[in-house]
Amino acid sequence: RVGLLTELLLEMVFRDLQPLSLVEERGFRLLLGCLEPQFAPPSPSQLGSLLWHRYHGLKQLLETHLQSSLPSRSLALCAERWRSLGGGGTVGRLYLTVSVHFVDRDWRLARCVLETRALPELGEAGG
């Protein structure tokens, strides 16, 4: 049961873009204590390590799939520039996300985010 709960916690963090510190938040701990009082969630650093391991496994799987399942020139790379929202609706950080879109052998459309990085603002070093 511990393994399942840890996997579900990882899933929630990366699907909902939650911070790793979520596991230390009082409200989260109250909810978890009510639902599963015996479960001690991993620390933020342990959670980060588990996510990093999952990322590398998925990255290798994607690389293998792209190399073996797609004919050459059958994917599209997209670069999207976007800005997060800051606290109270203020303007947040500027980001660049690179993703790949392709149709696999079974004619399923797939989209994978390859990387997201914060971009320097104008006036910052390198911006």
Burial (CB < 10 A; 0-12, 13-18, 19+), residue 33, is exposed
Put residue 103 in one of left, alpha, beta given phi > 0 → left and psi -120 to 50 → alpha.
beta
The DSSP secondary-structure symbol of 41 reads: P
pLDDT at 4: 92
Task: Please list the pLDDT of the chain residue by residue as tens digits (127 residues).
Answer: 888 999 999 989 888 878 899 999 999 999 999 999 999 999 999 999 999 998 888 888 888 877 776 666 678 889 999 888 776 667 778 889 999 888 877 788 888 888 888 898 776 555 5
Asked if residues 35 and 8 have their Cβ atoms less than 8 Å apart, the reply is no
**Phi, psi (rounded to 5 degrees) for 41:** -65, 155
pLDDT at 70: 65
Helix then strand then coil, in percent of the chain rounded to 5, is: 45, 30, 25
pLDDT at 72: 62
Could you tell me the sign of the dihedral formed by the alpha carbons of 9, 11, 115, 70, in that order? positive
pTM for this predicted structure: 0.59
Q: How is residue 79 written in tokens? A: 């670069």
